Structure 1
Amino acid sequence: MTASRLMPLPAELSVIVPCYNEVSNVAPMVAALDSALEGRRWEVIFVDDNSPDGTAAEVCRLAREDPRVRVLCRVGRRGLSSAVIEGILSSSAPWVAVMDGDLQHDESVLRTMLSELRSGADIVVASRHVEGGDNAGLAGKWRHLLSDVGIRAAQTVMPHSLSDPMSGFFAMRRDLFETLLPRLSGTGFKILLDLVMSAPKSVRIVEVPFVFRPRLAGESKLDVVVLLQFATMLFDKLTCGWLPTRFMAFALVGLIGVVVNVAVLNLAGVCGLSFSWAQLVGTAVAILTNFLLNNRFTYHDRRLKGPKLWRGLIIFVTVCSLGAVANIGIARMMLDSAGHGHWDRSSAAGAVVGVVWNYAVSSTLVWR
């Protein structure tokens, strides 16, 4: 028997599982896929963002026993969307499916999704909001609210009709993914919306029902930060990429800082501080707020911890101080050239220059 005849047939479906701290769910997921896809040629690729709980090591252990199991461990990179992109690019099957690593997605639906792809669908979305679907596994009213808000926001701007654009469970043709890849923002946690908003109207999208199950182990990643990243990705699509997603997030955090500054300024004034001292306190609190929000939200994939956090804070304060000087200088120059009746325009020009400066230097020196 020749070596070529001993080679196993290539997979027809690659299941991409982005994961972080899901060590307890790896083995049960592989077992569930083995049962659900019996008789099919499949592989599963776990894309792990260097989880400290040993997720990648557990996948490696299983991969030594089952060649259909693979792991792609990313060091120094974070984010679900980029993990999915790298996972799909590392696959070779003609069809790819994406599902979470927390066992909340019903793996038995994969057979239906694969059947729809074989019948001519380009993208198949497992939906919690069509007949037969259920969202009961989403824990707590807060997470239900976040999901509902995201769905309504997405549906107002999407070129395709979709009942569950927040779904993280879908399958598609791999060659279509390669076609859409240059248009993807690759940021945030909702890669499906990125794909759908990048797809031409001729793309055929089919929805199939699934029941979202309760999480048995690990912690949910859905929080307000995910929703904010979702919002900035929507803006990125609406502006056709003219404004980088990260810059919009940075500007949004800066706007929050302005609100904090004014609030603390007024509070300090009530407490009896002079305007100069109140302004100093308000500015300091606003800068600290901006730094912490940017570290948690804007630069989520480059988050600073430990000694690097304090070093980054010192640099950020310096950068913002220089940005304030640039802001005032540009505003003064604009005012001198435009006349004293244009305070608002001059101030706006200075603010724009200040934000651009802070963003450029922060991205270069603070969150490298």
Structure 2
Amino acid sequence: MENNSAPGKFALVVPALKEAGNLPTLIDRAQIALARQSNDYELIIVDDDSRDGTEEIVQEYSRRDQRIRLLVRKGARGLSGAVLHGWNHTDATMLGVMDADLQHPPELLPTLLAAVNDGNDIAIASRYVAKDSISNWNVARQLISRFGTWATWPLQRRGLRIKDPLSGFFIVRRECIDGLELQPYGFKILLEILVKGRIQKAAELPFKFATRHAGESKADLKIAFQYFSLLGKLSRHAFFGPGSQ
């Protein structure tokens, strides 16, 4: 039977901490990309109280296009928490996230959306589908990234082995995560969704990981500690079930 139903509403959350130098280009490119697809959408910038002009930049865009929204978190930090904050403030049935630093190409959004519209529960922009996706990284960074990915393999379900479970660029159906207790800390919310979520079918799409456009990386030892702490919690969940964290 032919499906003539309209595609679901899509909300893209972009966590931001001192990313004023990147946001105008990001929003412009995202708007152009999202105009090429049929889903109703909103673009939600979640600012962790940057005080660098981020609020003013997004408010100006929002005045011209009400689909551009700003949420400001006071006294809170962390990518996963910002993502959940944005998702909790939308009624969209399809939920996405991407970085604000332009390392993720907004031009891939229509392709990711099409993959979910075609029946996938989640569509992931993957650094490890194409061989040259991270060729601009130095050897040490590539090894650290690969090690972090390999450490997730015991947690992933058979039949749903994702090559890049630490990607920060993906779209998931809300119904697959509704009711889950997701942790609002750390930087790797995709891994938690893959372990806890009701994901049956996934698509991984290749992309070229770009260099940061402006500003400074937020990576530090605290993030590494949070990641290994998350691995421990998810290991208990995967092997002993919910409630064992």
User: How much has 1:188 moved relative to structure 2?
Assistant: 0.7
Structure 2: segments with no counterpart, 5+ residues:
1-5
The two structures have a TM-score, normalised by structure 2, of 0.87
Residue 150 of structure 1: aligned partner: 148
Relative to structure 1, the CA distance from residue 27 to residue 137 in structure 2 (aligned partners, 3 Å threshold; closer, same or farther) is farther
User: Does the 8 A contact of 1:16 with 1:88 survive in 2?
Assistant: yes
Amino acid in the other structure paired with 1:28: T
Residues 1:177 and 2:174 aligned together: no
User: How much has 1:131 moved relative to structure 2?
Assistant: 3.1
**Identity rate, percent:** 36
Equivalent pairs, count: 232
Instruction: Please state whether the residue corresponding to 1:178 is helix, strand or coil.
Output: coil
Relative to structure 1, the CA distance from residue 82 to residue 191 in structure 2 (aligned partners, 3 Å threshold; closer, same or farther) is same
The two structures have a TM-score, normalised by structure 1, of 0.59
**Inter-partner Cα distance in structure 1 for 2:230 and 2:55:** 29
Residue 343 of structure 1: aligned partner: none
User: Does the 8 A contact of 2:36 with 2:110 survive in 1?
Assistant: no
Residue 235 of structure 1, aligned match among 229, 232, 237? 232
Instruction: Please state whether the residue corresponding to 2:44 is helix, strand or coil.
Output: strand
Residues 1:61 and 2:60 aligned together: yes
User: How much has 1:14 moved relative to structure 2?
Assistant: 1.1
Relative to structure 1, the CA distance from residue 113 to residue 25 in structure 2 (aligned partners, 3 Å threshold; closer, same or farther) is same
**Inter-partner Cα distance in structure 2 for 1:39 and 1:169:** 19
Residues 1:212 and 2:181 aligned together: no
User: How much has 1:136 moved relative to structure 2?
Assistant: 3.3
Identify the range of structure 1 (39-48 vs 27-36) with the bigger mean alpha-carbon deviation. 39-48
**Inter-partner Cα distance in structure 2 for 1:222 and 1:243:** 29
- Measured against aligned partners, the alpha-carbon deviations of 1:7-55 in whole angstroms (never above 9, x if no partner) come to xx99822111011010011111111012112243322101111113222
Relative to structure 1, the CA distance from residue 133 to residue 176 in structure 2 (aligned partners, 3 Å threshold; closer, same or farther) is farther
Instruction: Please state whether the residue corresponding to 2:125 is helix, strand or coil.
Output: strand
Relative to structure 1, the CA distance from residue 223 to residue 141 in structure 2 (aligned partners, 3 Å threshold; closer, same or farther) is farther
User: How much has 1:148 moved relative to structure 2?
Assistant: 1.7
> Comparing both structures, which one devotes a greater share of its residues to strand?
2
Residues 1:12 and 2:40 aligned together: no
User: Does the 8 A contact of 1:146 with 1:227 survive in 2?
Assistant: no
**Inter-partner Cα distance in structure 2 for 1:161 and 1:32:** 31
Write the mapping of 1:118-129 to structure 2, written as runs, cut at 5 A: 118-129=117-128
Residue 3 of structure 2: aligned partner: none
Residue 95 of structure 1: aligned partner: 94
**Inter-partner Cα distance in structure 2 for 1:54 and 1:243:** 43
User: Does the 8 A contact of 1:22 with 1:102 survive in 2?
Assistant: yes
**Inter-partner Cα distance in structure 2 for 1:205 and 1:39:** 23
User: How much has 1:205 moved relative to structure 2?
Assistant: 1.4
